[in-house]
Amino acid sequence: MELSFGEMALIVLAIVVLFGPDKLPSIARDLGAGVRKMRGAVDDIKTEIMKEADNPVSDIKKEIDKIKDAAKEYNPLNNMDDDFNSTSPKELTDDKPVIKPSEDDTYEGPVSR
């Protein structure tokens, strides 16, 4: 809310007319003290809100950093090399005997239509 010079002069004139010029300094002093108290209260509220809002955010940031560090250390190729070296060639082949199509009774061969 912005007041122009003319609007402020009109407010001051109304205060002088309503309360008189002798009460004007005490009114200004009380008004200034009230504004200071309001600003202090607003600052306190802002500080409390920021403290409450900052805690979950900082916890989430810490968890994200932990996950990033774990992802940097993880290398799937290392695990694949270990798995490949630990398996023998016999484990890689099936134990089923290979049946030729000529020996298989269920084999129908290519079907022409």
Give pLDDT, residue 23: 87
pLDDT tens-digit series, residues 52-72: 776 666 778 888 989 988 888
3-state secondary structure of 31: helix
Contact by Cβ (8 Å): 16, 24: yes
Quick one: pLDDT band at residue 48, thresholds 50, 70, 90? confident
This prediction has a pTM of: 0.38
pLDDT at 44: 93
**Three-state helix/strand/coil letters over 43-65:** HHHHHHHHHHHHHHHHHHHHHHH
d(CA 107, CA 8): 102
pLDDT of 31 above 80? yes
